[in-house]
A and B are shown apart, each in its own frame.
Chain A
Amino acid sequence: MIRLDDYVPIVGQAVVGQLYRLAEHLGPHRLVNINSTRTGGGVAEILSRVVPLLNQLGIETLWEVIEGDQLFFETTKAMHNALQGQKVHFSPEMLEHYEEINRTNAPKFNWQADLVIIHDPQPAFLIKEMRSQAKHWVWRCHIDISRPYRTIWKFLQKTVSQYDASVFSMPRFSQNLKHPQYIIYPSIDPLSEKNRELSPEEVQEVLDRLGIERDKPIILQVSRFDSFKDPLGVIQAFRLVRRHTPCKLLLVGGEATDDPEGPQIFAAVQEAAHGEPDIQILMLPSDSHYEVNAIQRAADIILQKSVREGFGLTVTEAMWKGKPVIGGAVGGIVLQLQDYYNGFLVHTPEGCAFRIRYLLHRPELGRRLGQVAREFVRDHFLITRTLRDYLTLMILVENPDSRMFEL
């Protein structure tokens, strides 16, 4: 099991010591997190790490999961898409079923808590049944809700407004709500399989196994085959670079399971890459964290040329590995990358090509950007920051009207 003290060599004693002091000051508290899945997806990934660490800090932290049937998860998936802006039709039966599943889950939970954090919309309706079981309720939205489909937001808003506070991942996701809204930036775990340090031998073993040669500089994009990640724009940029400078492009994606558009985009990517021996497309199982880690560490330049993005944790991961990163100037990528300081932001395939060439010819600048990027992530986007934010949140919900107070 990972111990909190294992993070000391990474973030320093000052950061970890402060977590202990904050938790001690907070005293005995019971925190309950509720989401809709124990495995798979970013929320489960972060909870699986944060919950044991909060318990080590002396905060009694539970993690509960609601159960649902196929119609429920179809509805909440549609809800997720609608909150991200898609116009989705919801029948009254779907919404009634959503509420009903929440109602049938409620009796399973019989604790009393100081704070309940409900993650995303799936279990949001529980508050109607369980309000008295906790002093404070917070809705933690992990979704890019900057332009939600109005119909579904109006439906959800009635429930969310009953909470004591909401937490979003970026200021631009905040909504017109009467209760306090807080920001907790997403984070990565530097000790996870996806991010832990790897030896050169471990990296090479993965490259050999996957048939990746290091005969030319490697340009990499890791992302689902999804039009928002613009893999076709990446190929276009690569072709522009190749007219001037030798290099190879690696497109690494997971299997498209629940995305109907996935196979279509994948076929288009294969078509666009046809006849180009220096483009390699890899489909890896969704749990290939170790392999992705190794490939990122082998890359010379990492791209995330999205045209729409939530926060963009793949950018955070690449920055943590000390790589020069070129990202699309959208969503949370804009918060993470600053031109010439820790990476580059681009708007077009041409801009992406230009920055790739620029970095290929200035490897020293690339190294420097990568080093600054790593320190930026160390300061802002590691799991220790999330722990601190959760502990702070527990204090703030008990003092919602003060903007500055001494305890």
Chain B
Amino acid sequence: MTVAPEQTAQDPFWFRECFVMPMPIGRKATNLRELVETLRVVDEWVPYYHLFQYRLSLTYPGVEYPNEFAFWAANALQDNQLAEKLSSFDPFDFQNMVQVREALIDILDSYMWDLTYIPWARPGFEFDFCEASTAIIRSQIVAHTLPEFCQALQQVGLDSIYYHFFEARWRLGLREVDDFSFWIEYNFDCPEAVKQIRDIDLYFYSLREIRTELLKIIDQHLGDHCDQAG
């Protein structure tokens, strides 16, 4: 089903921008045991940073691992088996970060249980624990129509994509739902676009790629009129 480019939303979409700054907590893990022991005692903001917010700090192009724990297991411990297990860990299976942290520790703990040795990080690849501070600002960028939405998507920074696509799932309390598909669902009769957006496997795309995917999906449902804003 296509949406008429001039169709106006009942509620406009206000883009927010978020500014994340990593805050090292002064602790590091040189081996897997230290990683687990430290995870047990740090604030929940720490796993939150390494599972989600790291995307706004330093992300490697084309790296397949969906969180910093899996990446560290592969890159620093050079333990592919553990990296595989951590790659399949989905924080959105849980209700809150307390549960997420417990589940993560459980994976690491049960993995160590059967080992006769403790995997150590290569020198120089220690795990530096961080949390982050995030300032969120309501930008003046607003969309009333889908073409305006496309234009705004290209105008805002990647952190805005992060905020509305990742952060939103915790904020809305609906793990499958992001701000973008939520807005389209309630303002335009286009269930296919909503489904396609919710089907994006967010762990395997960079923020830039997610922006491109969103534009592609909306363009498809606008009948190639994504560029007709204003």
**Contact in complex: A14, B157 (CB < 8 Å):** yes
Q: Does B58 contact A (CB under 8 A)?
A: yes
**Among candidates B57, B129, B131, residue contacting A403 with C-beta atoms closer than 8 Å:** B131
Q: How near does chain B come to A216, taking the closest CB pair, in angstroms?
A: 31
A residues in contact with B157, CB < 8 Å = 14-15, 18
B residues in contact with A25, CB < 8 Å = 137
Q: How near does chain B come to A15, taking the closest CB pair, in angstroms?
A: 6
Q: How near does chain B come to A227, taking the closest CB pair, in angstroms?
A: 18
The CA-CA distance from A182 to B22 in the complex, in Å, is: 6
Tally of chain A residues near chain B (CB < 8 A):
49
**Contact in complex: B21, A185 (CB < 8 Å):** no
A residues in contact with B158, CB < 8 Å = 14
**Contact in complex: B133, A402 (CB < 8 Å):** yes
B residues in contact with A379, CB < 8 Å = 59
- Which residues of chain B (123-153) have a CB below 8 Å from chain A? 124-126, 128-140
**Contact in complex: B137, A182 (CB < 8 Å):** no
**Contact in complex: B61, A403 (CB < 8 Å):** no
**Contact in complex: A171, B135 (CB < 8 Å):** no
A residues in contact with B59, CB < 8 Å = 379
Given contacts A14-B154, A183-B130, A403-B45, contact A334 B24 (CB under 8 A): no
Interface-central residue, A18, A172, A175, by most chain B CB under 10 Å: A18
Tally of chain B residues near chain A (CB < 8 A):
41
**Contact in complex: A172, B125 (CB < 8 Å):** no
**Contact in complex: A176, B26 (CB < 8 Å):** yes
A residues in contact with B19, CB < 8 Å = 22, 388, 391-392, 395
A residues in contact with B57, CB < 8 Å = 183
Q: Does A13 contact B (CB under 8 A)?
A: yes
Given contacts A395-B19, A407-B136, contact A177 B62 (CB under 8 A): no
**Contact in complex: B155, A14 (CB < 8 Å):** yes
**Contact in complex: B21, A183 (CB < 8 Å):** yes
The CA-CA distance from A18 to B16 in the complex, in Å, is: 11
**Contact in complex: B124, A183 (CB < 8 Å):** no
The CA-CA distance from A392 to B61 in the complex, in Å, is: 25
Q: How near does chain A come to B130, taking the closest CB pair, in angstroms?
A: 6
B residues in contact with A13, CB < 8 Å = 155
**Contact in complex: A403, B132 (CB < 8 Å):** yes
A residues in contact with B75, CB < 8 Å = 338
**Contact in complex: A341, B61 (CB < 8 Å):** yes
Q: Does B28 contact A (CB under 8 A)?
A: yes
Q: How near does chain A come to B194, taking the closest CB pair, in angstroms?
A: 25
- A10-30 interface bits toward B, Cβ cutoff 8 Å, 1 = contact, 0 = none: 000111011001100100000
Question: Chain B: residues with CB nearer than 8 A to chain A?
Answer: 16-17, 19, 21-26, 28, 45, 57-63, 75, 122, 124-126, 128-140, 154-158
Q: Supply 12 A–B pairs (Cβ within 8 Å), ascending by A.
A: A14-B157, A22-B19, A171-B22, A172-B128, A174-B128, A180-B23, A341-B60, A341-B62, A341-B63, A395-B135, A406-B138, A407-B135
